[in-house]
Amino acid sequence: MPGEHLRPGPADDVAAAEQFLMNLPAPWTPWPQTARSLAPVLATTAAARGWHLGTALRAQLTDRPDGIRSHPAVLSARIRQLPNRPPPARCASCGAPGSLVHANGQSPRPVCVPCATVPAGPPSADPAAQAAAVRSAIRAGRRARRR
Ligand SMILES: [Zn+2]
């Protein structure tokens, strides 16, 4: 179709982006006209930078709302200057991505829930116990990835 390359993105992505903008919390909720004009930019930029229209993007766009005079202008600038999405945090112990917690008295770096709930004792000298620990870590990693 002639002129298709001028379209900023698939129409349903733009519609989803417009809906996403209209659902931003106050004081970020744009006027419908503003949402309509920003939606194609958001759809294109978010796709290019690896963001989904979800809570992480909402948090990124609505961060630090205090001291801002014009939220629409800041929202527009943030959409246009959207950085690449940071890679998901990984467990400091087993390397699994997912929701991480800070385990008390263990590692200062965040670990996944299975690693936090299983106390990491000194490695056993018993080969059978070592194999069991490895199997358990692999299972924990699979569990975390499935989430
Ligand atoms: Zn872990």
pLDDT tens-digit profile of 69-83?
999 999 999 999 999
Cα→Cα distances 108→66, 86, 133, 144, Å: 31, 21, 22, 20
CA 74–ligand 1 middle distance (angstroms): 38
Q: For 90, phi and psi rounded to 5 degrees? A: -120, 155
How far, in Å, from the CA of 112 to the mean position of ligand 1?
4
- Please give the distance, rounded to the nearest whole angstrom, from the Cα atom of residue 21 to the centre of ligand 1: 35
Ligand 1 center–CA 110 separation, angstroms = 9
Query: Which tokens is 89 given?
Result: 């945090």
Residue 89 is classified by DSSP as P
> Each residue of 18-61: pLDDT tens digit?
999 999 999 999 999 999 999 999 999 999 999 999 999 999 99
Structure tokens at 28: 């970020």
> How far does the centroid of ligand 1 lie from the alpha carbon of residue 55, in Å?
23
Instruction: Give the global pTM.
Output: 0.58
pLDDT of residue 4 exceeding 80, the answer is no
76 C-alpha to ligand 1 centroid (Å): 38
CA–centroid distance, 49 to ligand 1, in Å, is 27
Tell me how far the alpha carbon of residue 113 lies from the centroid of ligand 1, in angstroms: 7
